[in-house]
Amino acid sequence: MSLLQRLTRTLRPTPLCTKTSATKPLSSNYFSPHSLHRVGLRQRFYSSHNNHEHNYALNQNLLYGLMGLNIGIFGYSVYLQVQAKQGFQDPAVNFLRNMTLNYDEVFREGKWWTIITCVFMHSGILHLGFNMVSTYVLGGMVASIPGMTPLRLLTIVLGSGLSGSVGHLYLRAHQLKEAKTKYGYRVPDTRRGLGFSGAVTGLGVVAAFVYPRVKMAIYGIIPAPLWVLMLGFIVWDGYFVNDEKSNVGHAGHLGGAAFGAFYYLSRMRGLRL
């Protein structure tokens, strides 16, 4: 289960404000791409109203493109699975090996490209659906940040996805080392990392930094600010990160969250790290 699955299962955003007033400031409890401002952002992130509207439209198109890429890759994987059931297994096996992240295949077979391709691969329709819904919600919030250009948005998405892959590989290296110490021989890695969860976690962290008091409703009933929910997910991932019985990519989520925080603090707040 990904962070996105958990987010979609437990959260429902409160109604978003779509109208603003020139004389009355918008409450920080609600979200509107035309009216929210963040004093702490670097000055260069601000732009004219026309530029902001233009960037927001481009950012939304970028999000739709990324979502379409995820859906297209998943659709092709389903086609290959059907082919495999009909006896043509090699294409499906090769596709899986090139689109999922495995420690041995990266470091022993040189499949370095899987560090990024695994970000766009999903294990099932629910996995894909939860990730895409969360991309739409959290990505849309980041897309509306004043001065957020498509390049910056793409940097957050790909940077968080890559950091999630690095987090997965780091954890697997640690677990394989422990297994060797326990059993006395090198245990092959049989786990595979995949999914857009790391990228969306990074988007969620940036959104929580910029719009921390945006209300989300747990189970559609209990309101809670976005920063509390994102912090709760991070703590949950940290607690279970080394649980080998879990099928959740906790290390990937944490890696994505780390990049989101790094990007916000270093690029949007101008802090020296």
pLDDT at 247: 83
Q: Where are the beta strands (DSSP E) in 190-249?
A: 215-218, 222-225
Neighbours of 197 (CB within 10 A): 33
Answer yes or no: is pLDDT of 27 > 60: no
Answer yes or no: is pLDDT of 270 > 90: no
pTM: 0.82
pLDDT-derived band at 8, boundaries 50, 70, 90: very low
Q: In this structure, what token pair is assigned to residue 43? A: 């000055």
pLDDT-derived band at 146, boundaries 50, 70, 90: very high
pLDDT at 219: 61
Q: How far apart are CA 270 and CA 9, in angstroms?
A: 35
Query: Between residues 43 and 124, which one has the greater pLDDT?
Result: 124
pLDDT at 51: 86
pLDDT-derived band at 35, boundaries 50, 70, 90: very low
Q: What mean pLDDT is predicted for residues 152-173? A: 97
Which residue is associated with the tokens 């945006």?
214
Handedness of CA 18, 20, 26, 27 (dihedral sign): negative
87-143, pLDDT tens digit by residue?
999 999 999 999 999 999 999 999 999 999 999 999 999 999 999 999 999 999 999
Q: How far apart are CA 143 and CA 138, in angstroms?
A: 9
pLDDT at 248: 86
48-72, pLDDT tens digit by residue?
667 888 999 999 999 999 999 999 9
